Amino acid sequence: MNLIVDVGNSFIKLAVFKGDMFLEVLQTEEKNILKNFSNIFKKYPMIRHIMISSVGKLSEEHIKAMAVFAPVSMLTSDSKVPFRNQYATPKTLGVDRIALIAAAYYKYSAQNCLVIDAGSCITYDFLSEDGVYKGGAISPGVHMRYKAMNAYTAKLPLVSSLDFEDFIGDSTQSCMISGVVNGTVNEIQGVILQYIDRFKDLTVILTGGDSHFLSKRLKSSIFAHPNFLLEGVNYILELNKH
């Protein structure tokens, strides 16, 4: 059994796998990670391998504490991956994006795949049908857009709501929500259409914290996978065992 630790910008996820079978995921903050970690091992004492995928902060003390339970490996740009990487600067490619492409490779073999991860940032990553990672794009996520408007203006408030169905705002707050929500949806829709125009039989995967909210508003045919990144890290862990 494997334990996957996904350290994001906001939360940490602990996911248990038996082979490629997803069993459970638990979301925590770093201050509570060791307590939750211990509880996971009490429930699943057969865990033998741990892999950490980190784009956020996780202290060395916590990593050392994890190693008491089972051997720990870190997902890095040097980890063995199943796809061919044509990224011009592979050392700068985020491990979250590496994991997402690995998941696409295994779950949608021999297909042109666009993986969209809607989290703190929105990342777009393209894997060709012959298993080559070409690259993609990065843009601000929904909540980052709200924070930017508040931080770089004198009077716009800090908004966090996603609850807005129309596109015409009738107050400053609803105008901001309209701009962010509809702007994000139209951006994603436009990017999907760009890829469809160039690549036939495109498979679109949407994941990340805002994926459920956004999937209901997108017109394109997409597959929503909330645990896609975790599955990708687990595939890479299995590959690197051999």
Instruction: Give SS3 for 179.
Output: helix
56 labeled part of a ligand binding site? no
Taken in order 23, 27, 29, 32, the sign of the CA dihedral is negative
Is the CB of residue 238 less than 8 Å from the CB of residue 48? Answer: no
85 labeled part of a ligand binding site? no
Is the CB of residue 101 less than 8 Å from the CB of residue 114? Answer: no
Of 31, 40, 13, the C-alpha closest to 208 is 13
Q: What whole-number distance in Å separates Cα of residue 171 and Cα of residue 159?
A: 12
Is the CB of residue 207 less than 8 Å from the CB of residue 216? Answer: no
13 labeled part of a ligand binding site? yes
12 labeled part of a ligand binding site? yes
Contacts of 186 (CB under 8 A, 6+ apart): none
197 catalytic per annotation: no
Give me the catalytic one of 20, 96, 166, 201. Answer: 96
9 labeled part of a ligand binding site? yes
181 labeled part of a ligand binding site? no
182 labeled part of a ligand binding site? no
Contacts of 195 (CB under 8 A, 6+ apart): 112, 114, 126, 202, 204
97 labeled part of a ligand binding site? yes
92 labeled part of a ligand binding site? no
95 labeled part of a ligand binding site? yes
Known binding residues: 6-13, 87, 94-97, 117, 120, 172
Pick out the residues of the known binding site for substrate: 87, 94-97, 172
Q: Summarize the annotated binding site for K(+) as residue ranges.
A: 117
Catalytic residues: 96
Which residues does the annotation place in the binding site for ATP? 6-13, 120
